[in-house]
Amino acid sequence: MSPESSRGDLVRIGAAGVCAGKLDKVLARRRALVLLALAGALAGGVGAACSGGSRRSPEPAHVPREWRDVRDSAGHTVHVGEKHVPCRDCHGDAGFAPPPAEICERCHPTTRTPLHPVDPFASRPPPGCQDCHGFGADLAVRPTSCMRCHERAQGHAPAVGAHADQPCGDCHRAHGEPIAPKPCTSCHEEQASAHHAGAQRCLDCHSMHEPDRFADSHCASCHQKQPGRARVTGAALEAGHPRCTGCHPPHAFGKQQVAACESCHAKQHERVLAPGKHTRCVDCHAPHDTAPKPCTTCHAQRVLHPTPPGQRPCAACHPPHALAGGAKAVSCETCHAQQPRHATALCTGCHEPHGGKPARSAKLCATCHADKATSVAYSGHEDCTSCHAQAAHEPSRPAPTCASCHPKQGAARAGHATCSACHAGGPHRPKAPVTACKSCHAAEASSAPGGHQACINCHEPHTGERRPVACASCHADKAARGHGVRVACASCHRPHGPGGPASPPACASCHPAERRPGLHRAAGHARCESCHLAHEGAPRDDRATCLACHPAQRSHQPAAARCAGCHPFGDGR
């Protein structure tokens, strides 16, 4: 840059308000000359642009590109173009760095910003002047573009809902008090509400920036604090009635304006149960209750029938709005369609409609099965359903086997497995006489000795097995002596035929002559019973017994009490 051109630029700069006394210093410093030249070009260009002429002056060659990006912003248009504020008043003389945010207060000390007060608890700093009066390249930043920040409630104020398409300035003043001077009725005169004496302002029900129809959700916040019938909780808005204004037209809350139930529930009104008695919806449905009144409010019948999941008592069988043709209750098959019926019997033959499950007793079954039920007079067989578990709904289903209740008796051996073979009276006559054992065991019964005719004294009747009963239980005197101590009774005796010895075998079958000691081998001593008895402890060896066979020795040693003392029958010991 030549000194002449630099001096010419400084003249123009001087015209724009730069002090002429600084020319020598600017000439001495090349960089300062360039910056001042740019400032002169800037002032000249903006002045021409804002002078109202039809053409913009050519931009000086050394004007920074950043200036072209921001020259049409809202802040520069007003300050430079309209008010002709010198650039250095905001940027200073050292360059064009962004000025500090608080610099606006130097010229606008009395301008208040009530819409944007300083919030010490905000997550971000409060907006400054430049956030609305844009000085940057984003030309959308201007005082009237409030929604640029408020449409998403970016930490400053709630997002605007119902009035999002209205200019914010219609209700708000950016630099005045109050910030919203216009009453709502200036635009919404027809919505003026006489809700009640305590709610005279729109903002008692509406929030300033609420979404459309959002006031519906505010009703409960006020009415849950009201006494008496005016008290309404949020639970009143059940499914089907999500908004208070569904029944109460907005801004008209008198009783005469409440919509009739039939306006939405015409079908339910037409098919109401017992219409002659249920004439008004509110008799069962309190307007602000989530559920209808219990049927027992008017009907004292007890409900013992189990209620299906998700259904109310009474209504499961008596739908208040679903039946037609005068019916009072749905059929039992509505819920029990898969349950087999008891022949042609009606459900109410055993089940009382409001009595729950019937009692398990023969008395109930006897209403139809008197011949069978009244004959059961045995402990454990009084309850018909103990054997006929499915009798109520599956009468054709076989009854369980006797072994299901009598497992020990059911473990019978072959020939005893069929209970009715002995219990001919069957399960309905359990006390009938049992068939005698001899009907199947004739050989045993005919061969049993006297006193052995009661089979069950020795045999378990259901298994046929021998009871663990010893012969000594009846023959104690014989079992305690002689062979009864050393030999099993069955080796010589049988309780009955056809097996076992029919009579006691000969002694020689167990005591052959060659094995008998001493005088037992003598030919005259072959009859054991002459000296021995089977159930005596010791043989008879006294003098009198021996003389019965040896009378010639009557005078032989008359003083001896026992012959065996000299004539041994044993092995000499």
Q: Provide the sign of the torsion angle of the four alpha carbons 275, 280, 284, 285, taken in this order.
A: positive
For the chain, helix, strand, coil in percent to 5 are 35, 0, 65
**Per-residue model confidence as pLDDT tens digits over 88-117:** 888 888 777 788 878 888 888 888 776 666
Q: What is the DSSP string of 143-159?
A: TT-THHHHTTT-SSSPP
Instruction: Give the integer Cα–Cα distance in Å for 215 and 206.
Output: 5
* pLDDT at residue number 376: 58
Closest CA to 336 of 313, 355, 302, 308: 308
Q: What is the DSSP string of 42-69?
A: HHHHHHHHHTT-SSPPPPPTT--HHHHH
Q: Which residues pair with 196 in a beta bridge?
A: 199
Instruction: Give the integer Cα–Cα distance in Å for 208 and 367.
Output: 76
Structure tokens at 55: 């053409």
Tokens 């002032």 belong to residue? 43
Instruction: Give the integer Cα–Cα distance in Å for 509 and 507.
Output: 5
Count Cα atoms within 13 angstroms, Cβ side, for 209.
Answer: 16
Q: Which residues pair with 562 in a beta bridge?
A: 542
Query: What does pLDDT average to in each consecutive run of 10 residues of the chain (573 residues)?
Result: 35 32 36 42 41 46 73 91 89 80 86 65 69 88 81 59 79 76 80 61 77 74 73 64 80 80 81 80 80 83 76 81 76 77 78 77 77 64 74 74 78 74 79 83 87 85 80 84 82 86 85 83 82 80 86 89 84 57
Structure tokens at 369: 């099965």
Tokens 């006294």 belong to residue? 542
Dihedral pair phi/psi, residue 219, rounded to 5°: -60, -45
Compute and round to an integer the Cα radius of gyration of the chain: 61
Closest CA to 222 of 205, 244, 202, 239: 205
* pLDDT at residue number 49: 39
**Per-residue model confidence as pLDDT tens digits over 325-383:** 667 888 888 887 777 777 777 888 888 888 777 776 667 787 888 777 666 555 667 77
Q: How far is residue 375 CA from its own chain's centroid?
A: 48
Structure tokens at 229: 């019938």
**Do 71 and 62 meet the contact criterion of CB atoms below 8 Å apart?**
no
Helix (H) or strand (E) holding 24: helix 23-28
